Amino acid sequence: MGRVIISGGGTGGHIYPAITIARAIADIEPTEFLYVGSKIGLENTLIPKEGLPFVTIDVRGLERRISFRNVVTLGKTAGSVFKAERIIHRFKPEVVIGTGGFVCGPVLLAASLSGIPTLVQEQNVIPGVTNLILSKFANRVALGYREAAGRFKKKENLVYTGNPVRKDILTVSKEEGRSLLGLDPHKFTLLVAGGSRGARSINSAMIEVHRYFKDVKDIQILHITGDHEYDRVVKQLEGIDGKGRYGEGSRIIPYLHQMPEALAAADLAVYRAGAVGLAELTVRGVPSILIPYPYAAEDHQRYNAQALVMCGAAKMILDKMLTGKDLLEEILHLKEDPEALASMAKASKALGRPQAAHDIAKLALSIARRRTGSSAK
């Protein structure tokens, strides 16, 4: 049985890929995992639920520039690197994988100092500052986007894999998705989601969209507002029922656990441009209207979205330009032009990397095996 340490934290965008990679490694061979997170990140809630052994170290964020000071102070103090070294010494991993967030800094630095092979997984077109620093000594950097390669100075350890997606995203058919969600199998289906916390600008623009389509019979809208936004949205729609049903086809809900089914059901999606969400859209071949989150570090969501727009897989409306009228016009244009929508769907599918998790898992195991002297399968 192999031993693997995985570290990633702060946001779901770093944590969900880590979980997916762990599952992909376990599918290849029996593996003992240890997840190293920070004391304050979302990983404290998500990782124990996944049943992965979990420990924390106390770390702080980095300056948004590459500097020697950042390398020295990757953690809250130099002590975070020493604590990470102690964890590594006790667990004895064959490889250490980092998926982003400042907690990865001391963990992968300590692994490298201990002679343990390391792999960094970078989800975005614009790499995070931690991953840019870690790339200087990591054995491999698995890129979610080809476009990210230009941001790294050390090219020889870069491998384009795409971003990992959960297996259940890939397995649901359109018919199954619509049936399980109680949606009409024949209507044009619009999926709207702004991430787990919702997106106020998207939700606000959707009020006009819902009102326009209230009495239209050939469209159904599944709008996931986020828990914090739900009450604000439904108060603005007169006649909505207690289950969030509005007019002929709008269904407005605060949260949805069945996202694989929702993605399978969708003909078109209105989304933010986080790397995990875009990876899921493209493996399903879903065309999208993207509204990048404007406060993401280095404006990386805009660059993520641009990569899809340039390939013809998506349209983009900048958050500061978003109005209900503009969003409605874009939805109507695509709904009423099946050829354009089909072309976008084909482009989206072409960008999808359904094997990414498996490829990253094999990449991680290959550098571990070189160290242990055994051959890759």
Q: Does residue 11 sit in the same domain as residue 101? A: yes
Q: Does residue 104 sit in the same domain as residue 55? A: yes
> pLDDT tens, 221-256?
999 999 999 999 999 999 999 899 999 999 999 999
Q: Does residue 315 sit in the same domain as residue 359? A: no
What pLDDT, on the 0 to 100 scale, is given for residue 373? Answer: 46
Positive or negative torsion for Cα 118, 304, 285, 324: positive
Q: Does residue 135 sit in the same domain as residue 266? A: no
Is there a contact between 39 and 58 (Cβ–Cβ < 8 Å)?
Answer: yes
Of the pLDDT bands very low, low, confident and very high (cuts 50, 70, 90), residue 72 is low
- For the chain, how many structural domains are there in total? 2
Mean pLDDT score of the chain = 92
Is there a contact between 246 and 212 (Cβ–Cβ < 8 Å)?
Answer: no
Cβ-proximal residues to 272 (8 Å cutoff; 6+ apart), any chain: 193, 194, 195, 199, 202, 290, 291, 292, 293, 301
> pLDDT tens, 136-178?
999 999 999 999 999 999 999 999 999 999 999 999 999 999 9
**Cα 16 from Cα 305, distance rounded (Å):** 20
What pLDDT, on the 0 to 100 scale, is given for residue 376? Answer: 39
Q: Does residue 100 sit in the same domain as residue 185? A: no
Backbone angle region of 115, left / alpha / beta, with phi > 0 → left and psi within -120 to 50 → alpha: left
Tell me the residue range of the domain where 30 lies. 1-164+353-373
The edge-to-edge listing of strands for the beta sheet with 245-246 is 245-246, 250-253, 219-224, 188-193, 268-271, 288-290, 314-316
Beta bridge partners of 219: 188
In 61-151, beta strands by DSSP E: 95-98, 118-122, 140-143
pTM for the model: 0.91
238, exposed or middle or buried, with CB in 10 Å at 0-12, 13-18, 19+?
Answer: exposed
373, exposed or middle or buried, with CB in 10 Å at 0-12, 13-18, 19+?
Answer: exposed
**Cα 143 from Cα 187, distance rounded (Å):** 37
308: domain CATH number?
A: 3.40.50.2000
> pLDDT tens, 90-140?
999 999 999 998 899 899 999 999 999 999 999 999 998 889 999 999 999
3-state DSSP helix/strand/coil % of the chain, to nearest 5? 45, 15, 40
Among 23, 22, 25, smallest CA distance to 36 is for 22
Q: Does residue 201 sit in the same domain as residue 103? A: no
Q: Does residue 85 sit in the same domain as residue 202? A: no
Q: Does residue 361 sit in the same domain as residue 309? A: no
What pLDDT, on the 0 to 100 scale, is given for residue 347? Answer: 98
Q: Does residue 179 sit in the same domain as residue 327? A: yes
Q: Does residue 66 sit in the same domain as residue 30? A: yes
Q: Which residues are annotated as a binding site?
A: 11-13, 124, 166, 196, 301
Q: What is the phi/psi pair of residue 12, to 5°?
A: -60, -30
The edge-to-edge listing of strands for the beta sheet with 54-57 is 54-57, 31-38, 2-7, 95-98, 118-122, 140-143, 158-160
Helices (DSSP H) in 240-274: which residue ranges?
259-265
Q: Which residues are annotated as a binding site for UDP-N-acetyl-alpha-D-glucosamine?
A: 11-13, 124, 166, 196, 301
Both tokens assigned to 206: 């959707």
Of the pLDDT bands very low, low, confident and very high (cuts 50, 70, 90), residue 198 is low
pLDDT at 58 over 90: no
Q: Does residue 241 sit in the same domain as residue 269? A: yes
Q: Does residue 288 sit in the same domain as residue 338? A: yes
More confident residue, 67 or 272: 272
